[in-house]
Structure 1
Amino acid sequence: MQRRDPIPVIDLFAGPGGLCEGFSSIVDGRGDRRFAVKVSIEKDPVAHRTLSLRALYRSFRKGVVPDCYYDYIRGDITREALFAHPDIPKSAIEAASEAKCAELGKTPSETIDKWIKDGLNGASEWVLIGGPPCQAYSLAGRAKMRGADPVAFEGDKRHFLYKEYLRIIKEFGPSVFVMENVKGSSLPIARSNS
């Protein structure tokens, strides 16, 4: 069996990283990962902390996780102590930087595009994954938001964040893209759907 480099993955609207965890768990017959998350972008600071911690974990060799990682999970050391710990290789710290705390639609497109370009590092085959905020699309979210404040619902910018996902598809042409399906996402979102 010929060894192949892992296929790069870019994750938008990453949340705590469920989609990238799924892709990262796929291995070949040797146990090598078939996909490598190169960039994951999430605006929520708490979710971003999870993303960077999981990126750190995925950077460890299979079955070789430093005890300090579990010390952190148990609450015995701080996050800062974990990332500064001598048992954490520099390459692991660099891997954790794949997680970007940024807001699509607000962070300049040039910045997002540079992260993607750098993450892909010239790869022609890659995967784009992500799930635009479901509060604006889901049936339950719409009902709640329309009931609470119909004017705010109509002006909610999350209705249009899927356009940032489409912009990246157009700009970079991924081999494959996976957009999380949310029940209700195919229905008209807002009256001013321009």
Structure 2
Amino acid sequence: MDDIIIKTAPLTSKGQITIPQKVRELLEVSTHDTLRFIINTTTKQVTIEKQTAVCELCRDEKVIGSQPCFACDGTGIFDSNKSVLSFISQLQKYNIQGSIIWQNSSDFTSPLPFPLIKLQTSNTAYPVPIIETFQDFLQARSMVEHAGNVPFHQYDLDKLLDHLFVTEKARNTLKQKLQPETNAIFETFFGQKKK
């Protein structure tokens, strides 16, 4: 029989509650995690669970071909709170090397406020387009982590995106959606603005 734990928390005047520590530990949630509320309108019972994101590379299959998925570490669930550095560390066990390169490019009049991300591997088990797609994801994540409010109007947008992103799909998507005077790149890749 399942253990039942009952915890209470007061509702503030702003309609907020603090989730008790025991519940946070049980759900394995921490700051910036997203919670999902499942409401049974008949019984008026609410179930709270940690929101997880299905891995976009393996589509919850946990493998790419016959190898464990390197993006979700073979879980099928993508940790959207993980940093670029954490992802690059994780890639090492899949024989994929990641580099974080801070550079001043002669192609730009202003130094880039975020590093260039490069992935390399001799592991032929993973298709190159899959690795390139993940590299572009990490590049966008790096921009979110380092850029803050980037004044994109200082850069030739086409040149910037061609310099940073490997796949034509990523470049074209961003060229269509990115307004030079905004931070739309963050919304394009992550559906939210940088905090």
Structure label with greater radius of gyration: 2
Which protein has greater RCO, CA pairs closer than 8 Å, 6+ apart?
A: 1
* Fold match (TM-score > 0.5): no
Q: Scaled by the length of structure 1, what TM-score is found?
A: 0.29
